[in-house]
A = this chain, B = another copy of it.
């Protein structure tokens, strides 16, 4: 409990590690590289994060929290469910068009840590379920819960697929067709069965 903030260094490590993980992946980024880039001592890093896995989880949780904050702020700017979903897609389009876009870090984490019991895997799943739950809550205001859940799952899949397609280089097709398909999914969910 000294110093300016309780964990300024810690946050600096998280930010640096995030930039490297995003660019090069988790396994391909060594601890030595992180401490060199962050310009800290190795022991400082190991005091805050006793193992690399814990650093990875911390990075993912920090990014997930940030994402959810942005999402909740966007939600307030639109009123209908369709408009809220549209703002989420707009957000994704801006992300895809960022010159530093490298795909979804959480999806990459799932790819590199395939064991469902691994803390990194679980952290990535938590983020995806957070997004799904948020979309579901939008939709529940305008349709029965069962329909809302199904539509939210479909929209989540669509967004994940669009992120992959954007990473493959086809941003325009990903965005345009994701928007069209999202409309079709929401329209389909409203239809009487």
Instruction: Report which A residues bind B (CB closer than 8 A).
Output: 23-25, 27-28, 102-103, 107-108, 110-112, 114, 116, 124-125, 128-129, 149-151, 153-154, 156-162, 164-165, 167-170, 173-174, 176-178, 180-181, 183-185, 187-189
What copy number does this chain have within its complex? 2
Asked, given contacts A103-B111, A184-B187, whether A157 binds B165 with beta carbons under 8 Å apart, the answer is yes
**Bound CA span A110–B170, Å:** 14
Q: Which of B23, B25, B158 contacts A158 (CB 8 A)?
A: B158
Given contacts A154-B158, A158-B158, 9 further A-B contacts (CB under 8 A): A103-B110, A107-B107, A107-B111, A110-B164, A128-B165, A154-B181, A157-B181, A181-B181, A188-B188
**Bound CA span A156–B102, Å:** 19
Q: Are B157 and A24 within 8 A (Cβ)?
A: no
Q: Are A153 and B168 within 8 A (Cβ)?
A: no
**Bound CA span A98–B108, Å:** 22
Q: What residues of B have a CB within 8 angstroms of the CB of A174 in the complex?
A: 153, 157
Q: Which of B114, B124, B184 contacts A185 (CB 8 A)?
A: B184
Q: Which of B125, B160, B180, B189 contacts A188 (CB 8 A)?
A: B180
Asked, given contacts A107-B107, A114-B25, whether A176 binds B158 with beta carbons under 8 Å apart, the answer is no
Q: Which of B27, B154, B165 contacts A28 (CB 8 A)?
A: B27
**Bound CA span A18–B69, Å:** 40
Q: What residues of B have a CB within 8 angstroms of the CB of A157 in the complex?
A: 157-158, 160-162, 164-165, 174, 177-178, 181
Q: Are B102 and A114 within 8 A (Cβ)?
A: yes
**Bound CA span A168–B17, Å:** 24
Q: What residues of B have a CB within 8 angstroms of the CB of A156 in the complex?
A: 161, 165
Please give the distance in Å from A191's CB to the nearest CB on chain B. Answer: 9
